[in-house]
Structure 1
Amino acid sequence: MSRRDLILVGCTTPLIASSLALPRSGKASTELQSGSITPSIDLRKAEPQQVQLVISDGCGLGVSIYPDFEYNAGGKGGVGTAQKESDGRIFVRFDPATLQIPPVQFSTTKFLKLPLPPPLRIEIVSKKLEGYIEPETGKVELDFLAEFLFTIGPLYKAKPLIVGTTLTTESSQGPLRSGQGQRLDSSGRCVLAGVARVVPVDDPLLDPFLMLPTDCLARLPAQFIFTNQA
């Protein structure tokens, strides 16, 4: 049976990995197959085949001109494939079916320091998450597409909002909103930011409430963990 070697992203300094580094908030919701922990391999030389995305605490969401939401998605994420390109970049693709993104609701979200009222819930249904990582620079750009499903208990269900953006470690700018990411460090940690332009969905309640068309902002601290099959 093949052995799986752990690779923590080494953009500048190779690390010796004594344990699987995860956010302080808890364990990842998606698990890699067990294997021995070995010294990390510089991604500039390695050929990774699998990647795990683990979202950390401290996420933020914003929409229109409203104050930002505090959003707790810590420990969630997913597993995807990784392939090194001829130019040194790594193409990663996550299966939407494996991505775990918690809904925006009472237990995960605060608005103006208060929990979101229990009847309100926004389910996030991922459709696409893929893009490139540059080991030399730590730059990440991932194309993200999802449906946001607004409900108020059993009384109201809005038409799906289609949200598409590039989650990046660079700057993301829209007409109303802007976000700044942070490039990968030597342990694979980064901050992804993305601004999406959301168009009206012809919903008599949701369109005026969100003042569509408008900007939607996401800011996600995260960690990428790569594995290599030998």
Structure 2
Amino acid sequence: MMFQKRLGNDEIRQRFAKKAGHWQVVYPSIDEIEILKSRATVKCLDCGQETDVDLANFIGRDFLKRGCSNCKMLKAQKEHVAAIEKKTQDLGYEIEDMKMSSSEIRLVVKHLACDHKHLIKRGVLWSRSKSDAYLCPVCLNGNVLEGLWDLREQLLASGITAREISKRCYYSEGVVAQMLRGVGNHLPYTEYEIKKVVKEMLEEVNEGDAKDE
């Protein structure tokens, strides 16, 4: 005896109503299911994906709590994207392009410190990494560019203090002082931001001196 005939159409409707998620029977009509083979095309009303299913598995009692697998994948992707965006921002990168598959996210990022763009093939893994395996191949995350230590003599001569720099760059006075002394375990992007402000302030001082002359 076929699965639908044994259950009856009313029972099938009840099973669909209890199924986790929100579903619509696309083909055949739900009124006809009891006289057809136990397969149907169903649509998830949350994500819009249509799937051909075996009803014995789809609305069997042991499977009613299982929701849409595509919705679960999209939710996971959304969480991965959020983690990747946070990682890129924390490390001083900007996302130029992003392509997603069911299992991985491929992206092109631009390093704000030097504007170099490079490809990251496994974005999900990159977002979870706590190592320095993804150093910018051009500037090594600021290690080969002019550092704050190189500007220290100019700062001393100009009279600019760590407190004044702190007010302009939104980092604490303590962090700025550490960066100026070359100590502390700070992200390369932190130095990049502070250095940018320092250079602006030095330019302002130099312009002021030129006007006085």
Fold match (TM-score > 0.5): no
Relative contact order higher in (CA < 8 Å, ≥ 6 apart): 1
Smaller-chain TM-score range?
Answer: under 0.3
Structure 2 length as normaliser, TM-score?
0.24
Q: Which has the higher strand share?
A: 1
